[in-house]
Amino acid sequence: MCGIVGYIGNSEKKSMLLNGLKELEYRGYDSAGISILSEGNLQTFKAVGKISNLERKCHNFTSEGFGLGIGHTRWATHGKPTEVNAHPHFGTFSNIVHNGIIENYQSLKESLQKEGKHFISQTDTEVIVHLFESYVEKSQNILEAFTKTIHNLKGAYAILLITQKSADTIYYAKNGSPLIIGKNNNEIFFASSDAPLIGLVTEVSYLQDGAIGAMNLQNFKNLENIQPLLQDKLTAQKDGFAFFMEKEIYEQHRVLLETMIGRVQEDCFILEELRAIDLQSISSITLCACGTSYHSALTGSYLLEKIAKIKTKVEIASEFRYKEPILNSGELFVVISQSGETADTLEALKLIKRQGFQTLSICNVDNSSIVRESHTTILTRAGIEKGVASTKAFSTQVMVLWILAGFLAQIKGILPKTEAQKIIQSMFKATHLTKVNIKMHEHIKRLTKRYLHGHGFFFIGRDIFYPLALEGALKLKEISYLHAEGYPSGEMKHGPIALADTRLFCVALMPQNLLYEKIKSNVEELSARDATICAVTSEYYEGSDDWIKTSQAQTYMEEFFEMMVALQLFALEVSLRLGNDVDMPRNLAKSVTVE
Ligand code: G6P
């Protein structure tokens, strides 16, 4: 959610900033802007929409010689996505970029207005720069003024500020939103995640909450927690696919195998990561997450109860935080997050950690805030996921939860080796079934032409296919902007069936290995009321209007993974037919660092 970059050095600052922003663009793309301070001049460019618009705007500008700059790509929270509301925001001699939300901005704004400060945007961020300038006018000590400003803010923030009063320094502050500083020989880089820094620096410092400082070429070494930066950028290229989302769907079989390496043996599971946890004391589990990760948590709850026989609850992080949650002693608290930066999930984790519970995260980004905060982490090895609609992160999360269920069953002594072997064989087959079958993709591409109108979609399934139905509906609405709901098929008769008519589209998940007859009856009830049925199943079902044919499989999890791919492709193809931007759908952001 929003992306921040900063640069100090002699290279051409505009391109440094724009290149960094492009790496972060998938996190927010309502508007973007840069400010450059060189030889005493402070220049700002802003544009609504994508970075390419900003690039066109500053096409003729270059900045040679020593200088510094800050940049921002925005996902709007306060104020519409207009140029005026785009960052950097400015006062008379200083400019600022900010990720997060300043909760007390209204009262700060009112008192600054009384002082005569003039506001032009509707954002919360603008108060920071005016407050800073007001302190500078009173004290002249820049760092002191900046520190006082930050101490007045309530909320979450990662902030970079540059000022003509101190033309070699970037002032920074972090609380709740990620911020990283990196250095090479004679350049300093700032970014809100490590992607823009890869290839530019070898060492970084992941700032801790409460960090406030002034950075110039002389004082990088004074930072705490300097670490080497991994240099793996290849995973973030499109590899010949037109869209990141498509590429990420296609590479699922590979990243699933990577996620299994070392953790799945012939007849047993190994999770070295759990050494840090007292496994014998675990009597129940709470899984907590947002969005797609919440759907993988729901999926995991079925696996943990079926395989490991451990009572498992699932919580939406934004709800959990404020419900005064009660955990039992012996409860393991597990958060699931692709990015490791989702504010609600991170705060839920902190809350439970403060209460003294053991915490485990399942996360795709090493060194992210959630990874650093939890007692231990099982990393999903999906590689960088750029498509805003999550695909390979979901499948690798489900795989980790499946492994976790097997591992905990093993620890409890309730998983004979022959059973473990069966699960493991099924894991390999399921992974194989995520390899995209081109014929199936072509078929889905063709049939989506019939699903572009109507008054909405129901994705239905039972048992573990219910969370998959939820995920299928979420994928579709995220990128097609059509209304879609996931529903347990047995519940349709208790209300939603009232919507059934020829214009209601119903995508029915009909696994042959789990409650087939039951779901068939539920689908028949809809078919009898003329709903258009798209059956996802391996055997022809006469009540369907369309059929996405899956493979004959031995277990329901094999069917689960193949159906998951079918639903992802369905959403992708509907969205493309509607002419949408599948990688950067409207109003969304990849990583949501505000609550
Ligand atoms: C955003 C993204 C979703 C994602 C959710 C949780 O809303 O658009 O795709 O599922 O955040 O993100 P996390 O990184 O915690 O899994």
- pLDDT higher than 60, residue 234: no
User: Closest Cα to residue 91, out of 162, 31, 23?
Assistant: 162
Residue type, 234: L
Q: For atom 4 of ligand 1, which residue has the closest CA?
A: 291
How many Å lie between the centroid of ligand 1 and the Cα of residue 351? Answer: 20
How far out from the chain centre does Cα 499 lie? 33
Residue 166 pLDDT level (bands cut at 50, 70, 90) = very high
Residue 223 pLDDT level (bands cut at 50, 70, 90) = confident
How many Å lie between the centroid of ligand 1 and the Cα of residue 455? Answer: 26
Write the pLDDT tens digit of every residue in 255-301.
999 999 989 998 999 999 999 899 988 999 999 999 999 999 999 99
- Provide the 10 A C-beta neighbour count for residue 219: 12
Residue 237 pLDDT level (bands cut at 50, 70, 90) = low
Q: Comparing 307 with 588, which gets the higher pLDDT?
A: 307
Strand order in the sheet with 546-549: 484-488, 457-461, 505-509, 532-537, 546-549
- Residue 236: what pLDDT? 55
Residue 232 pLDDT level (bands cut at 50, 70, 90) = low
Mutate to test the pocket of ligand 1, among 2, 29, 244, 290 (most ligand atoms within 8 A of CB): 290
How many Å lie between the centroid of ligand 1 and the Cα of residue 290? Answer: 6
Return d(Cα 4, Cα 275) in angstroms, integer.
36
Instruction: Please list the active-site residues.
Output: 2, 590
- Residue 227: what pLDDT? 83
How many Å lie between the centroid of ligand 1 and the Cα of residue 294? Answer: 9
How many Å lie between the centroid of ligand 1 and the Cα of residue 560? Answer: 21
Strand order in the sheet with 211-215: 89-90, 94-102, 155-163, 170-175, 211-215
- Ligand 1 pocket, Cβ-based, cut-off 6 angstroms: 290-293, 337-339, 342, 345, 388, 390, 588, 590-592
| 54 in Cβ contact with 68 (< 8 Å) | no
Please report, rounded to a whole number, the percentage of residues in the chain having pLDDT higher than 70: 98
Mutate to test the pocket of ligand 1, among 338, 371, 476 (most ligand atoms within 8 A of CB): 338
- Residue 368: what pLDDT? 87
- Residue 229: what pLDDT? 82
- pLDDT higher than 60, residue 153: yes
How many Å lie between the centroid of ligand 1 and the Cα of residue 464? Answer: 21
Report the pLDDT averaged over residues 454-462.
93
- pLDDT higher than 90, residue 383: no
Q: For atom 15 of ligand 1, which residue has the closest CA?
A: 337
| 521 in Cβ contact with 462 (< 8 Å) | no
Report the pLDDT averaged over residues 443-449.
95
- pLDDT higher than 90, residue 194: no
Residues 6 or more apart from 44 whose CB is under 8 A from it?
Answer: 33, 34, 35, 88, 90, 95
- Which domains does the chain show, CATH number per domain? 3-231 (3.60.20.10), 235-434 (3.40.50.10490), 436-585 (3.40.50.10490)
Environment class of residue 186 by beta-carbon count within 10 Å: exposed (0-12), middle (13-18) or buried (19+)?
A: exposed
Question: Mean pLDDT of all residues in the chain?
Answer: 92
DSSP 152-191: T--EEEEEEEEETTSTT-EEEEEEBS--EEEEETTEEEEE
Stretch (H or E) spanning 532:
strand 532-537
Stretch (H or E) spanning 552:
none
Report the pLDDT averaged over residues 31-41.
93
Q: Which atom of ligand 1 is nearest to the CA of 290?
A: 6
Q: Comparing 99 with 219, which gets the higher pLDDT?
A: 99
Is this model's pTM higher than 0.85 or not? Answer: no
Report the pLDDT averaged over residues 196-205.
89
Return d(Cα 400, Cα 466) in angstroms, integer.
19
Residue 176 pLDDT level (bands cut at 50, 70, 90) = confident
Report the pLDDT averaged over residues 299-328.
95
- Residue 233: what pLDDT? 55
How many Å lie between the centroid of ligand 1 and the Cα of residue 467? Answer: 16
